[in-house]
Chain A
Amino acid sequence: MKIAFVVQRYGLEISGGAELHCRWIAEHMKKYCDVEVLTTRAFDYITWKNYYPRGEDIINGIPVKRFSVKRARNPRKFGRIQDYILKNEHLEKDELKWLKEEGPFSPALLKYIKRHEDDYDYFIFYCCRYYHSYWGINTVPNKSILVPTAEHDPVIHLKIFKDLLKKPRAIIYLTEEEKKMINSLSQNQNIPGDVVGVGIEAPSNFSAGEFLQRQGIKGDYIIYVGRIDENKGCDKLFDYFLKFKREKTSDISLALVGSTVLKIPSHPDIFHLGFISEKEKFSVLDSALLLVMPSFYESLSIVTLEAWALGKPVLANARCDVLKGQCLRSNAGLYYENYEEFKSALEILLSSSSLRKTMGDNGRQYLNKNYTWEIVENKFLSILDRLEQE
């Protein structure tokens, strides 16, 4: 069996959630079938400008075919169109215009899929909101499997997506909440699919001591890992954390890991560690008391699963269905909707080490039950088996 993963960007340097998920799944599925990746030359998800060389590449043993992006995205024009379609009555052609502007606009990739349809048994398309997935699924609907990675984003309610979500042969969801949302949105319960998620393996033998000393972090800290962005709720996190520090006499610090597009308040107890290696990330996560996830939109949150793999509890934004659902199912994290809840939940978690430990253990158990590679691979294979039998 030969499978093509079709994704907007692909590379070891790319840390976006969907792209990472695609790479990990592709690398694990190569044990069972021939796997190829069809992607663009883009690196930057804002403009999709061509960055990687054209042609074939091999990444971790997987052949990767890169196709040029014909027109880079103009963020201002895109914003204007998106604003128009979200606020006004519009036609389907307006939505398609938006989709073209959303990109990555790579006709070469679609042409390749059309020409080589017979060379592959299945095409697994990543991210329903992008141009390649929409037109790719419309090109080869009978061989397409969709991994929507959909969030509670207003654009998911566009009509083109309601129709699109009924077309693939199967859908692979990342969480129960995503499945529920997509089913209610497009009434596509008849399409086979399963909640697969991702396998998490925490590396062992690491120590954060030296690294933390270098960064000047002393004492206990809570950690946020991800893009430091308003869209990820980081501005609210800063407000809440600083208010918490003002109101409570706590020595706790906040460590931030990831690239930033937001001004970080200068405070002696807020540390920005920047973009760090995987090993360093796991070591600082392991030394933290808990992970805080202020994001409103998450389709899976790999870092939350990584925290549970290390036995760390999570304090999550309750306005994100996925995070709240994961906390409730795992009993491994508390959540908040406003400052009062943030303060109380943080206070409870900080003041009781046994609660942190028990919740961390719950997280680990939840992970072992749902997010090991063996389980994920089996779920993938059973979907493929089912399609073969059909």
Chain B
Amino acid sequence: MPEKNREVEAFEGFEEISIDYENIDVADIMSQIKRKISSQQKSSLQGEYFDRGESSLYPPEFEAVGEARSKIINLLLRIMRPLTPLIKLLTLPVYQELAETRRNLTKTTERTQRTKEYTKLLHSLTHNIIVELTKLKIEEENLKVKTRIIEKDLELLQKREKALEEKVFK
């Protein structure tokens, strides 16, 4: 297709969507839209990840370099994963491996402990909320009863007022 026939439209919040006006293909436009939406969603998810406090390893200008490097490292690690026990056996002395395992175990225990404490805290918080809500409910009931009594008193007073008026003006 000659380039002059292809018009490229840019839409706010999207990457470019290219539409060939000479030969419109709805299926192609829709797949571009779907691709764009999924890439947007992915990037917004990534954004959320970083917003949670996970900072990037590299300043923005080195982001691309850092990304490429981390991709290569990840790839190498993935390739070498089946060989990890063998490498460890050959490179690390047994006592070092033991120490590493212990370190990992301590870390996991700490994490479990933290989660436990957090769960306890949540439990007591929920308990307190329930107690407070119960108190409020009882108080609300009391206030309702009081309101009803006041209403009755008011009614009675109105009746008395009427009766008195009738007596006075007769």
Contacts and interface: CB of A to CB of B under 8 A. Distances in A.
B148 interface: no
Contact of B29 (A334, A340, A351, A354): A334
Contact of A334 (B7, B30, B36, B37): B30
Contacts of B37: 340-341, 344
A331 B26 contact: yes
A8 interface: no
Contacts of A327: 26
A33 interface: no
B9 interface: yes
Interface residues of A, number: 21
Interface string B10-42: 011010010101001111011001101100010
A354 B7 contact: yes
A348 B11 contact: yes
B30 A351 contact: no
B26 A334 contact: yes
Given A335-B26, A352-B19, 17 more contacts: A331-B25, A331-B26, A332-B26, A333-B26, A334-B26, A334-B29, A340-B41, A341-B33, A341-B37, A344-B11, A344-B33, A344-B36, A352-B9, A355-B19, A355-B24, A358-B24, A359-B24
Interface string A329-347: 0111111000011001101
Interface of B: 7, 9, 11-12, 14, 17, 19, 21, 24-27, 29-30, 33-34, 36-37, 41
Given A341-B37, A347-B11, A348-B11, A328 B29 contact: no
A362 interface: yes
Contacts of B24: 331, 355, 358-359, 362
A36 to B, nearest CB: 42
Contact of B9 (A341, A355, A359): A355
Determine the main DSSP class of A at the interface with B.
Answer: helix
Q: Among A331, A332, A335, A362, find the residue whose CB has the most chain B CB atoms closer than 10 A.
A: A331
A341 B14 CA distance: 12
Interface string A168-200: 000000000000000000000000000000000
Contact of B27 (A328, A347, A351): A328
B11 to A, nearest CB: 6
Interface in A299-355: 327-328, 330-335, 340-341, 344-345, 347-348, 351-352, 354-355
Contacts of A335: 26, 30
A348 B29 contact: yes
Interface in A219-252: none
A333 B26 CA distance: 7
A312 B37 CA distance: 25
Interface in A14-38: none
Contact of A348 (B9, B25, B34, B41): B9
A327 B24 CA distance: 11
Contacts of B25: 331
Contacts of B26: 327-328, 330-335
B41 to A, nearest CB: 8
8 tightest A-B CB contacts, nearest first = A344-B33, A340-B37, A331-B24, A331-B26, A358-B21, A327-B26, A358-B24, A352-B9
Nearest to A248: B12
Nearest to A344: B33
A344 B34 CA distance: 9
19 contacts: A328-B27, A331-B24, A331-B26, A333-B26, A334-B26, A334-B29, A334-B30, A341-B37, A344-B33, A344-B37, A347-B12, A348-B9, A348-B29, A352-B9, A352-B19, A355-B9, A358-B21, A358-B24, A362-B24
A254 B119 CA distance: 50
A355 B21 contact: yes
A351 to B, nearest CB: 6
B76 to A, nearest CB: 37
A259 to B, nearest CB: 31
A42 B11 CA distance: 51
Contacts of A358: 21, 24
Contacts of A345: 30, 33
